[in-house]
Amino acid sequence: MWDKIKDFSSDFFVTGDPMIYGADVAIVLVSVAILFVLTYFKKWGWLWREWLTTVDHKKIGIMYILASLLMLFRGGMDALLMRAQLAAPDLEFLKPEHYNEIFTTHGVIMILFMAMPLMFGLFNIAVPLQIGARDVAFPVLNSVSFWLFFAGAMLFNLSFVIGGSPNGGWLAYPPLTEKMFSPGVGQDFYIWGIQISGIGSLATGINFIITILKMRAPGMKLMKMPMFSWSVLASCLTIILAFPILTVTLALLFIDRFAGAHFFTLDGGGNPMMYINLIWMWGHPEVYIVILPAFGIFSEVVATFSKKRLFGYKSMVFALMSISIVSFFTWAHHFFTMGSGADVNVFFAISTMIIAIPTGVKVFNWILTMYKGKITFKQPMLWTMGFIPCFVVGGMTGVLLSIAPADFQFHNSYFLIAHFHQVLIGGVVFGYFAGLYYWWPKMFGFSLDEKLGRWVFWLWNIGFYVCFMPQYLVGLMGMTRRYSTYGWDTGWFGLNLTSTIGAFLMGAGFLVQVWQILYSIKNMQKLKDTTGDPWDGRTLEWTIQSPAPFYNFATDPVVSETDDFWEEKQRIAAGGKPRPKPALAPIHMPKNSGMPVVMAGFFFFAGFGFVFDWMWMAIPGLIGVAASMLVHSFRYDTDFYIPVDEVRRTELAAGREV
Is the N-terminal amide bond of 18 cis, ω within 30° of 0? no
Q: Which of 272, 594, 620, 624 binds other proteins (CB under 8 A)?
A: 272
Give which of 595, 602, 443 is closest to 138, Cα–Cα.
595
Distance CA(109)–CA(153), nearest Å, equals 8
Interface pick for other proteins out of 52, 392, 558, 584 (rule CB under 8 A): 392
Which residue intervals of 87-138 are DSSP H helices? 96-108, 116-130
Closest to other proteins by CB, 211 vs 461, is 461
Q: Taking the mean position of all CA atoms in its chain, how far away is CA 336?
A: 28
Q: Does residue 18 touch other proteins according to CB under 8 A?
A: no
Name the one range near other proteins by CB under 8 A: 123-131, 210-218, 260-268, 575-583.
260-268
**Does 369 contact other proteins by CB under 8 A?**
yes
Is position 485 an interface residue for other proteins (rule: CB under 8 A)?
A: yes
Comparing CB distances to other proteins, the nearer of 17 and 645 is: 17
Nearer to other proteins by Cβ, of 220 and 647: the residue is 220
Is residue 226 a contact point for other proteins (CB under 8 A)? Answer: no
Question: Which DSSP symbol is given to 457?
Answer: H
Instruction: Report, in Å, the least distance between residue 107 CB and other proteins.
Output: 11
Q: Which stretch binds other proteins (CB under 8 A): 200-208, 210-218, 320-328, 383-391?
A: 383-391
Q: How far apart are CA 514 and CA 318, in angstroms?
A: 38
Q: Enumerate residues 83-102 that contact other proteins by CB under 8 A.
A: 96-97, 100
Q: How far is the CB of 286 from other proteins (least distance, A)?
A: 20
Determine if 61 is a binding residue for other proteins (CB under 8 A): no
Name residues whose C-beta falls within 8 Å of residue 335's C-beta, 6 or more positions apart in sequence. Answer: 276, 280
Between residues 139 and 431, which has the closer beta carbon with respect to other proteins? 431
Q: What is the distance between the alpha carbons of residues 40 and 526, in angstroms, rounded to a whole number?
A: 31
Considering the complex, state which of residue 241 and residue 456 has its C-beta at the smaller distance from other proteins.
456
- The region, left, alpha or beta by phi > 0 then psi within -120 to 50, assigned to residue 349 is alpha
54 binding other proteins? (CB under 8 A): no
Between 272-306 and 414-423, two packed helices, what is the crossing angle to 10 degrees? 40
268 is a site residue for other proteins (CB under 8 A): yes
Number of residues this chain uses to bind other proteins (CB under 8 A): 107
In the complex, least distance from residue 298 CB atom to other proteins, rounded to whole angstroms: 12
Q: What is the DSSP string of 27-38?
A: HHHHHHHHHHHH
373 is a contact residue toward other proteins (CB under 8 A) = yes
195 or 265: CB nearest other proteins = 265
Name which of residues 176 to 215 contact other proteins (CB under 8 A): 176, 181
* Residues in 437-466 at the binding interface with other proteins, rule: CB under 8 A: 458, 461-462, 465-466
Evaluated on CA atoms 640, 444, 222, 203, the torsion sign reads: negative
Taking CB under 8 A as the binding criterion, the range among 2-10, 50-58, 247-255, 372-380 that sits at the site for other proteins is: 372-380
Residue 2's alpha-carbon distances to 14, 16, 94, in angstroms, are 19, 20, 33
Q: Are 177 and 118 in contact (CB under 8 A)?
A: no
> In the bound complex, what is the minimum distance in angstroms from residue 360's beta carbon to other proteins?
4
Q: Which is nearer to other proteins, 23 or 356 (CB)?
A: 356
Nearer to other proteins, 482 or 635 (CB): 482
Alpha-carbon distance of 263 to 215, in angstroms, equals 43
User: Nearest CA to 358 among 395, 331, 388, 330?
Assistant: 395
Q: Is 523 in the site for other proteins (CB under 8 A)?
A: no
Give the largest Cα separation in the chain, rounded: 86
Burial of 656 (0-12, 13-18, 19+ CB in 10 A): middle
Whole-number minimum distance, CB 553 to other proteins, in Å? Answer: 26
Checking DSSP bridges between strand 639-642 and strand 587-590, what pairing results, if any? antiparallel
Candidates 43, 482, 522, 526; binder of other proteins (CB under 8 A) is: 482
Q: How far is the CB of 314 from other proteins (least distance, A)?
A: 8
Determine which residue in the list 409, 543, 555, 650 makes contact with other proteins, applying CB under 8 A.
Answer: 409
**Shortest Cβ 640–other proteins spacing (Å):** 43
Kindly tell me which residue out of 478, 582, 586, 643 binds other proteins, with binding defined by CB under 8 A.
Answer: 478
Q: Return the residues of window 112-171 that contact other proteins according to CB under 8 A.
A: 167-169
548 sits near other proteins (criterion: CB under 8 A): no
Subset of residues 299 to 358 that bind other proteins, contact rule: CB under 8 A: 306-313, 315, 335, 337-343, 345-346, 349-350, 353-354, 356-357
Strand pairing partners for 641? 588
CB of 378 to other proteins, least distance (A): 10
Which of 253, 289, 284 shows the shortest CA–CA distance to 271?
A: 253
Identify the H or E element spanning 640: strand 639-642
Nearer to other proteins, 64 or 387 (CB): 387
Examine residue 594 and tell whether it contacts other proteins (CB under 8 A): no
Binding test (CB under 8 A) with other proteins, winner from 31, 412, 560, 638: 412
Nearer to other proteins, 97 or 639 (CB): 97
Sign of CA dihedral 478, 503, 427, 201: positive
d(CA 294, CA 306): 18
Secondary structure class of 500 (helix, strand, coil): helix
297 lies in the binding site for other proteins (CB under 8 A): no
Which residues sit opposite 587 in a β-bridge? 642
First and final C-alpha spacing in the chain: 72
Site map (CB under 8 A) of other proteins, residues 230-259, x = contact: ------------------------------
Distance, in Å, from the CA atom of 493 to the CA atom of 587, rounded to the nearest integer, reads: 64
* Residue 12 interacts with other proteins (CB under 8 A): yes or no: no
| Burial class of residue 472, CB neighbours in 10 A (0-12, 13-18, 19+) | buried
Nearer residue to other proteins within complex by CB, 473 or 584:
473
Q: Give me the least distance between CB of 366 and other proteins, in Å please.
A: 9
Helix (H) or strand (E) holding 589: strand 587-590
- Which candidate, 596, 448, 452, 532, places its Cα nearest to that of 59? 596
**Which region, judged by CB under 8 A, interacts with other proteins, from 192-200, 325-333, 469-477, 547-555?**
469-477
Closer to other proteins by CB, 247 or 485: give it. 485
Nearer Cβ to other proteins (23/392): 392
| 497, 511, 584, 622: which one binds other proteins (CB under 8 A) | 497
Nearest to 315 by CA among 230, 388, 217, 238: 230
